[in-house]
Structure 1
Amino acid sequence: MQTLSWLSDDHLYNSVNRLLDIAEKSLKNSETQFNKNVLDPFSALFQISGFDISHEEWLIAEKTRQAQKSLQNHVGDFHQIILGKVDGWENLETGQIMDLVHKDRKIIAEIKNKYNTVKGSDLSGLYQAMENLVGYKHSSFKDFTAYYVTIIPRKPERINIPFTPSDKEKGVRFSINESIRLIDGASFYEIVTGDPDALFNLYKCLPKVIEDLKGKPMSLEIQNNLFQYFASAYGV
């Protein structure tokens, strides 16, 4: 039986395996590149002293932090790839103005992993790019709806509201345009799949998928802790 009703198991397992490979490479790179990176000796000193940890504990934590930072850059890509495999949706790949499109439904979307992935000063440019795409008469996306998707929202609640960042040139917010919207990950997954619990169902199946791929079971204690993090992020 297919794991998710809206995505083939081949696409699901391939997408998860890709991210696992990136995680492993990120950790290896943090080991091999550690001495090539310029470290902050003041931060190291005060972390070891202030946190009352050994140098070895600090070293492990610092290497993990560097690997984590590298991995997080790819988690947004994971969602983009997953959503781009749903019937009717197209992943526009890295380097394009937008990330996803559904031409028949006239929807385009920019996917970011977290609400603060894009700096506040850059949100103005994102809004203007969306406005040009959906409003310019010669645009291929004229009259589409553009979504700025933050998979992890600022607050644990669902949102689907007009996207009105501050215009950094004028110092005031852009005017409301109902075709340019800010939306959380759970709500956008519902738009894409038709399943109101799509994002949770994806998260819920990942431990089993990862176990199948790595051949190593994840304890129920770890899974329960991880589900609490999901509940905290999305208010479920």
Structure 2
Amino acid sequence: MSYLEYLEDDVLISLVKDVLDVGRHKKEQVIRDFQKNVIDPFASIFDAAVSNVDHDTWRDSEMVRQCQKTLTNHIGNLHQKILGNVSGWQDLGVGGVVDLVCHDRKIIAEIKNKHNTVTGGKLADQYQSLERLVTPKASQYKDFTAYFVNVIPKKPERFNITFEPSDKDKGIKCSKNEHIRIIDGASFYTLVTGRESALTELYEALPEVIEHIFHEIYGDKKFSISDKELFRKYFEDAYGE
């Protein structure tokens, strides 16, 4: 039985392994270079005091924090690559004018991992970037619908609405355009795959895929992800599912 109905197993395994490889490499680097890097001695003592932990616990927590930042950056790319491998969709890669395109459905999309990845005045810049792609007659994406995707939304609500951020330079909101929209991750996964619970299906498959990679590729037969239900609560909090 496949992990996901909308993605080949070998593709999913390869994409998840890429993220794990990055994380494992970063962990090794952090452990190796921890003493070489200058640690803020003031922040560390306050952090340990406020958290009420000993030095070793604080150090382990700091290492996790440093690794997490790297992983977060690559998880956004993971969503882009997964969606770009769905039939009919294309991942335009890092540095493309936009992240995803579906020519048959006349859709382009910019993928951001979290609602606060782009904030303030940069939201208007994002709007204008999408507007330049779908509005000019000479654009290859003329009359396409552009989606600004927040995989993890600010609130556990589904939405697919016109994108109208404030333009601080002009002191007004960007013009309403039905072809420029903002959408949450769960709704966009549904839009791409046609499956109502596509994002939930991905999340529920990940522990099994990760354990498979550790067992069969990394050779760690004893590896397992403990407390899966406790971790799942974070997914439920994020998406209300």
Q: Which TM-score applies when normalising by structure 1? A: 0.95
Instruction: Look up the match of 1:233.
Output: 238
Q: What's the offset of the Cα at 1:87? A: 0.5
Distance 1:51 1:189 in 2: 38
- For residues 27-66 of structure 1, what are the structure 2 equivalents within 5 Å? 27-66=27-66
Count of residue pairs the alignment pairs up: 234
**In the alignment, structure 1 residue 111 sits paired with structure 2 residue 111:** yes
- Mapped pair 1:144 → 2:144: yes
**Alpha-carbon distance, 1:184 to partner:** 0.4
Write the deviation string for residues 56-98 of structure 1: whole angstroms up to 9, x where unpaired: 2211111110111111110000000100100110000001121
Letter in 2 for 1:218: I
2:228 to 210, 223, 227: 223
Q: Distance in 1 between matches of 2:205 and 2:151?
A: 17
In the TM superposition, what is the alpha-carbon distance from 1:137 to its structure 2 partner?
Answer: 1.0
1:63 is paired with a residue of what secondary structure? helix
Higher mean displacement: 112-121 or 90-99 = 112-121
Alignment of 1:96-175 (within 5 A): 96-175=96-175
Alignment correspondent of 2:220: none
Which residue does the alignment assign to 2:219? Answer: none
The equivalent residue for 1:15 is 15
Q: Which runs of 5+ in 1 are unaligned?
A: none
Letter in 2 for 1:170: K
Which structure 2 residue ranges, 5 or more long, are not aligned? 216-222
Say which SS state the counterpart of residue 137 (structure 1) adopts.
coil
* RMSD value, Cα: 1.2
Displacement of 1:30? 1.7
* Other structure's SS at 1:148 match: strand
Tell me the TM-score normalised to structure 2 length: 0.93
Q: Does 1:197 align with 2:202?
A: no
**Which amino acid in the other structure matches residue 172 of structure 2?**
V
Shift of residue 112, structure 1, vs aligned partner: 0.7
Q: How much has 1:36 moved relative to structure 2?
A: 4.6
Q: Report the Cα distance in structure 2 between the residues aligned to 1:67 and 1:50, rounded to whole angstroms.
A: 22
Deviation at 1:218, TM superposition (A): 2.5
* 1:74 counterpart residue number: 74
Percentage of pairs with the same residue: 50
Distance 1:122 1:34, change over 3 A: farther
**Compared CA separation, residues 170 and 47, structure 1 to 2 (3 A):** same
Q: What amino acid does structure 2 have at the position aligned with 1:150?
A: N
Residue 38 of structure 1: CA displacement? Answer: 4.1
